[in-house]
Structure 1
Amino acid sequence: MTEFASISVSLPHIPDDVTLAQFMLDAAHPTRPVRGPNTAWLIEDATGRRIDYEEIRARVFGLANALSLKWNIREDEVVCIFSPNHVDYPVAVWAVHRLGAIVTAANPSYNAEELAYQLTATKAVNIIAHPAFLPAALTAAKQAGIPPERVIPIDPASEAQRRHLAPTLGELVAYGLAHEASFVERRLNPGEGKTKLAFLSFSSGTTGKPKAVAISHYAPIANVISMAAHMRINEEYAAWDQRRFRPGDVGIAVLPFFHIYGLVVNMHFLLYAGQTLVVVPKFDFVKYLESITKYRITHLLVVPPQVVLLCKHPATKKYDLSHVRYVFSGAAPLSAELSEHIVKVLPNAHIGQGYGMTETSTTVTMFPLSQRIGTLGSAGQLLPGVRARVVKSDGTYAKAGEQGELYVTGPSMALRYANNEQATKETFIDGWVRTGDEVIIDKNGDVFVVDRLKEIMKVRGFQVAPAELEGHLLTQPDVGDCCVVGVPDDYSGEVPLAFVVLTADAAKRAASSASQAEKLKAAIAKHVADHKIYYKRLSGGVVFVDSIPKNPSGKLLRRVLRDQAKLLRTTSKPMQAKL
């Protein structure tokens, strides 16, 4: 049997008798650096308000005490957070954990029906909601049987909204701090952290309805420690100015905290590493650039669409980004072409990729310290404690350099899908997680993600990965963004079709006349034909769209465009669409 393991450092001890809140707020660990004096934990992007450790710890206790006093929130009850990023988001998470309860974080762009599905599936008893999303929260709460007085605004709401709601989160903090403790936070028994639930996090739903992933307290703790060991964040392995992570560095938290990448890597890992986090509620690229320069951000955690903007948006050149020292891309594959481009945009940064899933809570690979620039196209190398198998289509195990489906195991794996025995059996197999991703692990330990198994096209019997074509298309100067899907073809079985967002200049040319638009489509198709084997050509055509649909973590919602492609073909409309 061929099995791959980390070639990084060994995995340090992982405590299995603490909750995530206790780990972050109360515990020391050999891999954890000591913050300098007057180093803020969080900064509110819009106001510059700085929040230090003592304030966070006090707010966590105050909110936990209020939740206990007002609603008797108990162990294993579920509280939903329905908000964009907010400086009180970690406060809410850790307050719920202080009570032994479970957090389910919901996408604030959900409509009432989608939110009600999550509330019902998790049996949530309270909702902490941003005022901007209260209408959906209240409608969903009613559908799920949650009284409006259990809906807590994370910021002050309007007078009309507040009449039937709970006090605001800030008011609850003050109330909790003004009263004696009404709960006793218990220490977990040895080993209990491995089974006690911390999160019911929902899978991204790019290929179907989201599933609730049951994640223990031990899993994100293990992941944070594994990443810290991999990056040697508390070791003097190099001169101070050459270290990748240093206490006092400044990260930006624009990745959504409700998504596992933002929750574990952006929130918990960067705070654990001693960084100050600038918390941004909503991604707006120009404002993002302004925040990076205003707060002298050193560390960027990004998704590929943000890399596309950094490389192609004209505003990038207007800002001095020379202080950026680290760029980590995840959530979807970043092509070698884009990797080469971002290195030119941010020449002073260590740049590379990682890979993980909600089901692996979170990261299983990161580019190593030995590579200032990660191997082009690679998702990095296995973290300490992670083991992998690559299973070929015939069920045998692949060797180094051979392609197959990735199975992984390690201390950060989720436990199961909640209330979904069939899906659990298909994905969680004897301690291993079946990822559904096609990969190659080379002899150097680099992991290359080819594509989602369900997204790989079969053209004339040959496998074609949409991600490969998308990475190449983005090198064409007229292409601002793109997504490739397979469409049925009588002769080839499937053929690639590209949905393309043009750059501003190209869009003006396309709008000027039909002939210009056709000329652009031909040029884009030729760009692929000139560089790729015949069966990878865009035989399905090129469709111009206004935007590419993505989920908040940056993953392409390919199924949405597959449906659009089917509609275009069945209605025999010209291949032009607005999304």
Structure 2
Amino acid sequence: MRVIHGPGGALPAIPDDLTIPQFMLDADHPSRPKTDRNRPWMIEETTGREVVKAELHSRTDSLANALKIRWNIGEDDVACLFSSNHVDYPVIVWAVHRLGAIVSTANPSYTHDELVHQLKTTGTKIIFAHSSGLAVAEAAARTVGLKPERIVLVDTVASGKAPYANVSGLIQEGSKKPKSYTERKLRPGEGKTKIAFLNFSSGTTGLPKAVMIPHYALIANIIQCTVYAEGDTKPVESKTFIPGRRIYAALPLFHAYGLAFIMHFGFFLGMPLVVSQKFVFADMLKSIERYRITTLPCVPPMGVLFHPDVKKYDLSSIKSFMIGAAPVSPELQAALASVFPQATIGQGFGMTETFTIVALQRHDQKVGTLGSAGVLLPGVTARVVRPDGTDCAPDEPGQFVVKMPSLALGYLNNEQANKETFVDGWLNTGDEVIINDQAELFVIDRIKELLKVRGFQVAPAELEGFILDHPDVADVCVVSLLDDFNGDLPLAFVVPNASAKERMSKDPAEAEKIKAAIIKYVADGKVSYKQLTAGVEFIDAIPRNPSGKLLRRFLRDKARSAQKNKGVKAKL
């Protein structure tokens, strides 16, 4: 068996009897750097307001108290956090955890149906919603039978006539009343099984599933990343991860990358977060100047916006430009290196199911190996396997299979997906990779059907099931074209039904009308990154194997070949 280990040696002890807020706010782990207790943990981008640990601690405890008093939130209840980035994001997460309850973060751009799916799957008892998504939260709550008083506004802006509680008001309320809950100390080993998050992922295939992430998993990944950071032997001024470096937090905190790595690892290492509620490129450039940002986590669509004209801004504070969540072309990586000659430029790799980081850029490189997703973290054990389960030779591509202490427990109430993905302590990632002798990871392709659009997961099966409900569709297969900005561009191959074919035979212009109607149907019913940005193509029949399974790769290769020949451009 060819087993590859992430360099860095054995990990220090990982607490298995602590919850995440106990580890972040109360405990003193030997791996944690010593920092000024009055340093800011968060900085609000729009106002410059600084939030220190003591304030986060007191707000967390006061909010937990109010949640217990008002709604008796307790052991294993689920709270859905449906919000854009906010300085109270960690407060809400940790307050829920203080009560032994579970957090399920949701994309604030979700449509009604998408949010309903998440609320029903998790059995949500309370929703924390930003005012910008309140209408969706209200409608979804009605659908699943949650009363309006079970909606709490993350910000203080009310909407309509309903008097919603808000987080700041609850914190004030909780701070004035006697403590109403007793925070439980976990039993030895319980941290490995007690669920902290139910975050959604499409896994290797199919509809979005709730990933069961225990407290131990996040704590383990923080320690793994810390040991990785300690392995950097460069002079202090050239290191990426040290106390005091400032992270620009525009990537969504509901996503595993933002939630686990940017927020929790950043806090643990003493790196303040400049919190941006919504990514606006010009505002980011101004904030880099204003706050002297040093660490810039991005996804490829953000990276392609940088061009020579940005040099009119002072970007000299940037020490590290980190790209993750989707593949990065060598051309983009080289272009970024020219814009940020003083910074390290590199990729990383992670999954919700590994919560979250599996690989980060090699320390001995200023610009990461082109095409590489980084070097495996300490504590990661990996294999590259053929379809028959045997191990690939060095430099032979195969499925990436990984074992690490931060693995999720599996998918909630989905035994079939668990059997396919979590096997004998290993995670089948569904990614086709090569791992070289330096433990560098190169992602070649996705064996799994999952698409990545601007860093977000899109399950073709989800779109196919939705499109099949359109009155003109008999069959459908969703594939993707490729684009440097978006990553994947969803394209639907559609078999029109008999009625649609008859109309098209009578009027050739009807074909374009039906295509436009299908595109609008998806746009109206799905979040922005799940739309058919590459359009609709009609086809006589969807190719399938004898068992009826879609031959998706056949259509994907056909579409990409046509894209290459015709020079298809992205629809932005």
TM-score range, shorter chain: 0.7 to 0.9
Partner of 1:260: 256
Aligned 1:387-426 pairs, distance under 5 A: 387-426=381-420
Paired residue for 1:145? 145
Q: Are the equivalent residues in 2 in contact too, given 1:252–1:297 (CA < 8 A)?
A: yes
Q: 1:411 to 1:159 in 2, by over 3 A?
A: closer
Give, in whole Å, the separation in 1 of the partners of 2:300 and 2:570.
23
SS in 1 for 2:305: helix
* Amino acid in the other structure paired with 1:6: G
- Name the CA shift for 1:553/1:365 in 2 (closer, same or farther; >3 Å): farther
Runs of 4+ in 1 over 6 A off after TM superposition: 484-488, 574-577
What are the within-5 Å matches in structure 2 for residues 238-387 of structure 1? Answer: 238-310=234-306, 312=307, 315-387=309-381
Which position in structure 2 is the counterpart of 1:495? Answer: none
1:436 to partner: Cα distance: 0.5
1:238 deviation in Å?
4.7
Secondary structure of the corresponding residue to residue 16 of structure 1? coil
Q: Cα deviations across residues 479-532 of structure 1 (Å, max 9, x unaligned)? A: x767567998xxxxxxxxxxxxxxxxxxxxxxxxxxxxxxxxxxxxxxxxxxxx
Aligned partner of 1:64: which letter? A
CA distance in 1, matches of 2:71, 2:339: 51
**Structure 1 residue 446 displacement after superposition:** 0.8
Cα distance, 1:381 vs structure 2: 1.2
Quote the offset at 1:209 in angstroms.
Answer: 2.3
Shift of 1:145: 1.3
Partner of residue 210, structure 1: 208
Structure 1 segments unaligned to the other structure (5+ residues): 458-465, 475-479, 489-544
Q: Is the 8 A contact 1:36 1:248 kept in 2?
A: no
Amino acid of the structure 2 residue aligned with 1:361: F
Partner residue, 2:86: 86
| 8 Å contact from structure 1 (residues 308, 481) kept in 2 | no
Query: 1:256-296 CA deviation, whole Å, 9 max, x = no partner?
Result: 11110110011101111101101111111111111122111
In the alignment, the residues of structure 1 paired with residue 366 and residue 9 of structure 2 have an alpha-carbon distance, to the nearest angstrom, of 17
- The answer for the alignment partner of 2:421 in structure 1 is 427
Residue 400 of structure 1 and its aligned partner are, at CA, apart by 1.8
Alignment check: 8 A CA contact 2:203 2:450 kept: no
* Partner Cα distance (2:304, 2:239) in 1: 27
User: Are 2:288 and 2:315, in contact at CA under 8 Å, matched by a contact in 1?
Assistant: yes
Task: Give the distance between the partners of 2:240 and 2:118, measured in 1 at CA.
Answer: 38
Could you tell me which residue of structure 2 aligns to residue 97 of structure 1? 97
CA apart distance, 1:384: 1.1
CA RMSD of aligned residues (A): 2.9
Residue deviations 1:298-330 (CA, integer Å, cap 9, x gap): 0011111111112x4x65233121110012211
Deviation, structure 1 residue 553: 13
- Flag the 1:318–1:125 CA change in 2: closer, same or farther, 3 A: same
Once the 2 structures are TM-superposed, how far is the Cα of residue 158 of structure 1 from its aligned partner? Answer: 2.8
Cα distance 1:60–1:101, how it changes in 2: closer, same or farther (>3 A)? Answer: same
Please state how far the C-alpha of 1:161 moved relative to its aligned partner: 4.1
For 2:205 and 2:414, the matched residues in 1 are separated by: 17
1:256–1:553 contact (8 Å) kept in structure 2: no
Query: Distance in 1 between the 2:151 and 2:82 partners?
Result: 10
Partner of 2:462: none
Shift in Å at residue 8 of structure 1? 2.5
Q: Secondary structure at the match of 2:432?
A: strand
Q: One-letter code of the match for 1:309?
A: L
Q: Distance in 2 between matches of 1:206 and 1:403?
A: 18
* Residue identity in the other structure for 1:146: L
Report the more deviating stretch, 10-19 or 153-162. 153-162
State which drifts further: 347-356 or 220-229. 347-356
Residue-by-residue CA offset, 1:106-128 (whole Å, 9 max, x unaligned) = 11101112111111110010001
Contact 2:109 2:527 in 1 (8 A): no
Q: Following TM superposition, by how much is the alpha carbon of 1:449 offset from its aligned partner in structure 2, in angstroms?
A: 0.4
Q: Distance in 2 between matches of 1:204 and 1:429?
A: 17
Structure 2 spans left out of the alignment, 5+ residues = 452-478, 494-518, 542-565
Distance in 2, matches of 1:456 and 1:340, equals: 27
The change in CA–CA distance for 1:438 and 1:200 in structure 2 (over 3 A counts) is same
The residue that corresponds to 2:500 in the other structure is: none
Q: Say whether 1:42 aligns with 2:36.
A: no
The worse-fitting range, judged by mean Cα deviation, of 286-295 and 392-401 is: 392-401
Distance 1:485 1:255 in 2: 22
Cα drift, residue 353 of structure 1: 1.2
* Equivalent in 537, 540, 547 of residue 566 of structure 1: 537
Once residues 417 and 76 of structure 1 are traced to their aligned partners in structure 2, the CA distance between those partners, rounded to angstroms, is: 16
Q: Structure 2 CA distance, aligned partners of 1:447 and 1:128?
A: 38
The one-letter code matched in structure 2 to 1:56 is L
Give deviations 1:127-161, integer Å, cap 9, x for gaps.
01111111110110111111100100111233634
The one-letter code sitting in structure 1 at the alignment partner of 2:275 is V
Q: Which moved more, 1:288-297 or 1:314-323?
A: 314-323
Q: Establish whether residue 5 from structure 1 lines up as the match of residue 5 from structure 2.
A: yes
Matched, 1:438 2:438: no
Mapping for residues 503-542 of structure 1, pairs under 5 Å: none
Q: What CA deviation, in whole Å up to 9, does each residue of 1:396-435 have, x standing for no partner?
A: 2112211001010110000010011111111111111110
Q: Tell me, what secondary structure is at the counterpart of 2:328?
A: coil
1:48–1:485 distance in 2 versus 1, CA, 3 Å: closer
Q: Do the aligned partners of residues 37 and 69 (structure 1) sit closer, same or farther apart at CA in structure 2, a change above 3 Å counting?
A: closer
- TM-score of the aligned structures, taking structure 1 as reference length: 0.79
Q: Give yes or no for contact 1:231–1:368 (8 Å, CA) kept in 2.
A: no
User: 1:199 Cα shift?
Assistant: 0.1
Q: Are 2:81 and 2:104, in contact at CA under 8 Å, matched by a contact in 1?
A: yes
Distance 2:204 2:304 in 1: 20
The correspondence of residues 36-75 of structure 1 with structure 2, limited to 5 A, is: 36-75=36-75
Contact (CA 8 Å) 1:63, 1:95: kept in 2 or not?
Answer: yes
Contact 2:205 2:450 in 1 (8 A): no
Partner of 1:566, secondary structure, is strand
State the number of aligned residues.
490
1:309 aligned counterpart, secondary structure:
coil
